[in-house]
Amino acid sequence: MSEEQLAESEPTGWKKIFIVFDSRVATIGLIIVFFWSALALLSLLWTPYGPNETDFIQNLGPNAKNWLGTDHMGRDILSRLMQGTQVVLLKTRLPWGNISFPGGVALWGVAWSLILGVMLGLNAGYRGEWADQIIMQVLDALIAFPRVVLYLVVIAAFGQGDLVVIFAIAITGAPGVARLARSLAMDIRTRDYISAAETRAESTWFIMFKEILPNARGPLIVDAMIRVGYAIFMIGTLGFLGLGLPPPDPDWGSMVNDARKYIYISQWAVAWPALAIASLVIGLNMFADGLREELARYQK
């Protein structure tokens, strides 16, 4: 395909918003993510029953009243599953009273890892020399530790809570984001428009955040989507280990941990939250992979 044909095929304006629908994989992933997001929004207005109400027979299978069954304490699984979506996608609780702010734990954790990683990676990739050496040595030391170990160290030092989990996700995710941002910055800094900005005597911060970052946003956005999936999986892992988000609001990992003792008589109590974690992570990964393929296809 010639450059003229490629330019004609590249979407422009508002059509860029719908580029994702050119990929079947990305479309399926988006539908899965939209389903769980809609369920989270619905849970703010309505749930079949209170998520902590113990008004039903224990370990019931799916029935007319309890569509997904009940757990070992007689709580409605569907209500708890819906409540768990809020923890992941919608709200973060503060440790001071019954206060929360918009944005799920996974989203805030990845957002802060993106901010920290981009700042460190751009400085390392564009400045180079001693700045690159110092920043990357520190980040490589963090990467050398298994991620679960770093989570456990942070939680052991600061205790349990939404903010602690956000901090743990940010600290463990920032090195990977920084390495990606560094590699992109090292490539982009050789372009002619960077040389032109330097000739105009633009500041280092202007070049990094006005010239390099906008041209690196595509891969960073795709990477962030994948990291949200990893963060959701890690929240579930910590909840399963009893080190995740504190009660009373349920999270999917703690639901699996609570129900595993009764797996021989209540398989559905384990299956539903495990399926929720798996489907949301797979949906995010499919959406990110499809979007990456479409962006690469239109890239000259």
Burial 219-242 (b: 16+ CB within 10 A, else e): ebebbbbbbbbbbbbbbbbbbbee
CA 251 to chain CA centroid, nearest Å: 15
At residue 46's C-alpha, the angle toward residues 40 and 52, to 5°, is: 85
Would you say residue 287 lies in a domain? yes
Q: At residue 11, does pLDDT exceed 80? A: no
The answer to whether the beta carbons of residues 161 and 96 sit under 8 Å apart is no
Q: What number is the average pLDDT over the span 249-264?
A: 87
**Pairing outcome for strands 91-94 and 99-102:** antiparallel
Look at residue 152 in the predicted model and tell me its pLDDT.
84
Q: What is the pLDDT of residue 147?
A: 84
Residues 132-158, mean pLDDT to the nearest whole number:
88
Do the domain assignments include residue 1? yes
Inform me whether the pLDDT recorded for 3 exceeds 50.
no
pLDDT tens per residue, range 190-214: 999 999 999 999 999 999 999 999 9
Task: Output the CA–CA distances (angstroms, integers) from residue 6 to 1, 9, 218, 293, 297, in the order listed.
Answer: 6, 5, 19, 16, 10
Amino acid at 53: E
- In this structure, is residue 98 part of a structural domain? no
Place of tokens 């009764």: 262
Residues 111 and 206 in one domain: yes
Q: How many domains does the chain contain in total?
A: 2
pLDDT at 240 over 80: yes
Question: Are 199 and 226 members of one domain?
Answer: yes
Residue 280 tokens read as 């949301």
Domain end position, chosen among 206, 221, 246: 246
Whole-number average pLDDT of the chain: 87
Tokens of 259: 């129900």
Is the separation of the CB atoms in 276 and 77 below 8 Å? no
Indicate if the pLDDT at residue 166 is higher than 50.
yes
- Give the pLDDT mean for 268-279: 94
Instruction: Specify the pLDDT at position 132.
Output: 92
Q: Is residue 72 situated within a structural domain?
A: yes
Report the distance separating Cα 272 and Cα 81, nearest Å.
Answer: 8
Residues 200 and 273 occupy one common structural domain:
no
pLDDT of residue 99: 76
Cα–Cα distance for residue pair 203/216, rounded to 1 Å? 19
Per-residue model confidence as pLDDT tens digits over 110-121 = 999 999 999 999
Phi and psi at residue 144, in whole multiples of 5°? Answer: -65, -25
Q: What percent of the chain has pLDDT over 90?
A: 56
Least confident of 49-53, 135-139, 245-249: 245-249
Q: Is residue 141 part of a domain?
A: yes
Per-residue pLDDT at 231: 93
Q: Write phi, then psi, for 103 (nearest 5 degrees).
A: 105, 125
Q: Which domain CATH number covers 172?
A: 1.10.3720.10
**Distances in Å between the alpha carbon of 98 and those of 92, 95, 167, 245?**
11, 8, 20, 14
pLDDT tens sequence across 132-141: 999 999 999 8
Rg (CA), the chain: 22
Alpha-carbon 207 to chain mean position: 28
Query: Do 19 and 55 reside in the same domain of the chain?
Result: yes
Taking residue 22's Cβ as centre, other Cβ atoms within 10 Å add up to 15
User: What pLDDT is recorded for position 23?
Assistant: 83
193 lies in which domain range? 104-246
Contacts with 189 (C-beta within 8 Å, 6 or more apart), sequence order: 125, 126, 212
Asked if residue 258 and residue 242 are part of one domain, the reply reads: no
Q: Is residue 99 part of a domain?
A: no
Q: Is residue 294 part of a domain?
A: yes
Where is average pLDDT lowest: 150-154, 162-166, 207-211? 150-154
pLDDT at residue 110 in the model: 96
What pLDDT, on a 0 to 100 scale, did the predictor assign at position 298?
Answer: 62
Query: Is 16 a residue whose pLDDT tops 90?
Result: no
Picking from 34, 73, 23, the residue whose alpha carbon sits closest to that of residue 52 is 73
Whether 6 maps to a domain, the answer reads yes
Give the pLDDT band (50/70/90) at residue 150. Answer: confident
CA–CA dist 35, 33 (Å, integer): 5
* Residue 123 or residue 159, greater confidence: 123
